[in-house]
Structure 1
Amino acid sequence: MTLLDARQSNPREGGPSFSLRHRLLRLAWGVVWGILGRLSPVPFHGWRRCLLRLFGARLGGTARIYPTAEIWYPPNLTMGEHAVLGPGVICYCMDRITIGDYAIVSQRSHLCGGTHDPDDPHFQLLPKPIAIGAKAWIAAEAFVGPGVSVGEGAILGARGVVVKDVPGWEIWAGNPARKFRDRKRF
């Protein structure tokens, strides 16, 4: 089911942003992850990949998801080979979140795939995709906003906040994040 399929026929009238089926799937996922995912030992990455795949995530066979990571809606998550969602990461995947091969999202970072329409009297949710390129690194406690692409090999420094695209092979840091320097390609 795509996000568009999950939306109410007319959410602008103040109803829920997502269908009952979508909300029930998220509820079931929360229970399963809370019991079988969060309580699993750290090295059991294969087990957690299995749980995520059962709920629709598309994951490389070597992707690593730590037990304390929070994934909002697994069908919107795609991870490449050797990609990592570290401890305490919040992956708010209201829309597609794609994490490329060898990309690392470090501890307590936040990937926020949605916002609200501030001009809508019902303050409706607006899902927007996030793409983290191959070999990119989102450092500890960084924030990647809705609709942002972090290019291949790019780095967002610890506690950095990015709300616009980060070109490949650049190092950004700060709040708001700004380019610090280029990164050596490998």
Structure 2
Amino acid sequence: MSVKALIKKFTPRWIRYQLYPFLIHYPRAFKFYFFNHFIARIPSFTLRTLYLRKIIGYSIGKGTALHMNIFITGNHFSIADHSVINRRCYLDCRGGIAIGNNVSISPEVYIISATHDPDDPEYRVFGKKVVIDDYVWVGAKAI
């Protein structure tokens, strides 16, 4: 029996609507937390790449280097072959980020693909995909 079916069977309706989203989203959030606070600080390109490919499910090309202390959040990220993301970069992938071949992203770059609408009374999040084409260099501390 699935977790969803067990919750539906044994819990009152008002608890279900609060508990079920937590149980569904918590494992994914924990994977990001574990990467950003532990795996990203280990000096191993291979370990970081394998974790993002196999555990998180990102598409990462051959020969790609992900340096230490990068911070990634969001579900929609892909990077092609022979690209580099340097140390202390922040990648907000909620709206989606696609990076092409032979791209060099310098240290402390922020790539943000989602924001809030300040004029919306409900302050909803909206985002658009950020696409960085082939053979691009993004300078240090760019936003």
Q: What TM-score range do you get, normalising by the shorter chain? A: 0.7 to 0.9
What is the RMSD of the two structures over their aligned residues, measured on CA atoms? Answer: 1.6
In the TM superposition, 1:112-151 aligns within 5 A as 112-143=112-143
> Once superposed, which parts of structure 1, at least 4 consecutive aligned residues long, lie more than 6 Å away?
none
Residues 107-166 of structure 1 show CA distances to partners (whole Å, capped at 9, x for unaligned) of 0000001111122112111121100111101100001xxxxxxxxxxxxxxxxxxxxxxx
Aligned residues: 121
Q: Quick one: which of 35, 38, 41 aligns to 1:39?
A: 41
**Residues 5-24 of structure 1, C-alpha deviation per residue, up to 9 Å, x if partnerless?**
xxxxxxxxxxxxxx643454
> Would you say the 8 A contact 2:36–2:69 is kept in 1?
no
Unpaired runs of 5+ in structure 1?
A: 1-18, 144-186
Gap change, CA 1:121 and 1:24, over 3 Å in 2: farther
Structure 2 counterparts to residues 87-106 of structure 1, below 5 A: 87-106=87-106
**Offset from partner CA, 1:47-78 (integer Å, 9 cap, x none):** 111010121110002111112111112x4110
Residue 58 (1) aligns with residue 69 (2): no
- How far, CA to CA, are the matches of 1:58 and 1:125 in structure 2? 24
- Larger helix fraction of residues: 2
Tell me the TM-score normalized by structure 2. 0.77
TM value normalised by structure 1: 0.61
1:26 aligns with 2:29: yes
Partner of 1:108: 108
- More strand per residue: 1 or 2? 1
User: Which structure 2 residue ranges, 5 or more long, are not aligned?
Assistant: 1-20
**Higher RCO (CA < 8 A, seq sep 6+):** 2
Q: Give identity over the alignment, percent.
A: 22
Larger radius of gyration: 2
